[in-house]
């Protein structure tokens, strides 16, 4: 079985980190090795350009892929977005030089030259707003095109906006929100492939579910147990077990959101909880 992952760009590092988190370790870290085996006997990984991944997955050459939602939409590939992975977030925007007296897409005149690598998305966008522009297809360094005089504006992905400002550009419209997605073919007949897909999806979900969660354990004297339980959030309810000791004591365990911890710890201590431990969680599997 083959899984396609990005070979370049901002999705590479978080993708590799996610695979490692679910137990998939690449046997070769040499980026020149386009196809590499993994620590899973039933899975190999192919490194390709993120914009090519939707087509590779659509063809069935790879049973899964990780790429940006922007590339999925641009490719028009018939694939299923299984999960939003939450990283690689950005906005596909229409931007023009700050010096131009253009504040809205409606201010653009016919014949306006727009540089982009998202030609399909751009064409549909301008058709929708009724503008006859000239699309200039480029594969990189889109932001510099207006400075070079090769275009009057651009359509590209913006993460923070810093790069656009450095090149004297301003955003006049947001076209599409994007982030990394786990994608698969719409139809899978191979039972072994279905098993591997289900295994990866289950484990990826478990890692995503664990983000921002912490496991908290404590010892609670019998006489204050109810007071402690009243302030404890939980996914299903805290786990409570009696501790064998001279004084009646309970062990209480639950999962909480990380941002709730500071105030929660103070409440627990004030209600008599002792020996409080806070632990990281790798996976949460419902």
pLDDT, tens digit, 9 for 90 and up, residues 115-148: 999 999 999 999 999 999 999 999 888 999 999 9
Residues 195 and 214: their CA atoms lie apart, in Å, by: 30
Fold that domain 213-280 belongs to in CATH: Alpha-Beta Plaits (3.30.70)
CATH 3.40.190.10 range(s) for the chain read: 2-87+179-210, 90-178
Question: Which of the 8 DSSP states describes residue 80?
Answer: E
Q: For position 246, what pLDDT does the model report?
A: 80
pLDDT tens for 65-86 read: 999 999 999 999 999 999 999 9
- The residues, any chain, with a CB within 8 Å of residue 265's CB and separated by 6 or more, are 276, 278
CATH 3.30.70.120 range(s) for the chain read: 213-280
Instruction: Give which of 60, 57, 67 is closest to 5, Cα–Cα.
Output: 67
- CATH 3.40.190.10 is right for the domain spanning 2-87+179-210: yes
Whole-prediction pTM: 0.89
Q: Residue 7 — very low, low, confident or very high, per pLDDT cuts 50/70/90? A: very high
Q: What is the CA radius of gyration of the chain?
A: 25
pLDDT tens for 210-258 read: 999 999 999 999 999 999 999 998 667 789 999 987 889 999 999 999 9
CATH homologous superfamily of 90-178: Periplasmic binding protein-like II (3.40.190.10)
Section 144-166 average pLDDT = 94
């Amino acid at each position: 079985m083959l899984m396609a992952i990005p070979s370049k760009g901002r999705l590479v590092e978080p993708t590799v980190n996610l695979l490692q988190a679910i137990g998939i370790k690449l046997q070769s870290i040499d980026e020149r090795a386009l196809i590499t085996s993994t620590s899973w006997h039933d899975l190999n990984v192919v490194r390709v350009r993120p914009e090519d991944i939707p087509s590779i997955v659509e063809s069935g050459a790879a049973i899964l892929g990780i790429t940006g939602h922007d590339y999925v939409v641009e490719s028009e590939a018939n694939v299923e977005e299984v999960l939003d992975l939450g990283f690689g977030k950005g906005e596909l925007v229409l931007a023009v030089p700050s010096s131009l007296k253009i504040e809205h897409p409606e201010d653009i005149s016919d014949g306006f030259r727009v540089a982009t690598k998202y030609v399909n998305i751009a064409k549909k966008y301008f058709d929708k707003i009724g503008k006859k522009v000239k699309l200039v297809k480029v594969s990189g360094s889109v932001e510099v095109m207006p400075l070079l005089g090769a275009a009057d504006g651009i359509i590209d992905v913006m993460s923070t906006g810093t790069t656009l400002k450095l090149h004297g550009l301003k955003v006049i419209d947001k076209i599409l929100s994007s982030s990394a997605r786990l994608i698969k073919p719409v139809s899978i007949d191979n039972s072994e492939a279905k098993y591997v897909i289900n295994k990866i999806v289950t484990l990826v979900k478990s890692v995503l579910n664990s983000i921002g969660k912490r496991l908290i354990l404590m010892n609670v004297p019998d006489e204050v147990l109810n007071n402690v339980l009243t302030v404890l959030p939980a996914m299903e309810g805290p786990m409570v077990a009696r501790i064998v000791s001279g004084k009646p004591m309970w062990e209480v365990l639950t999962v909480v959101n990380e941002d709730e911890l500071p105030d929660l710890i103070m409440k627990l201590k004030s209600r008599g909880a002792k020996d409080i431990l806070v632990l990281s969680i790798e996976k949460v599997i419902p």
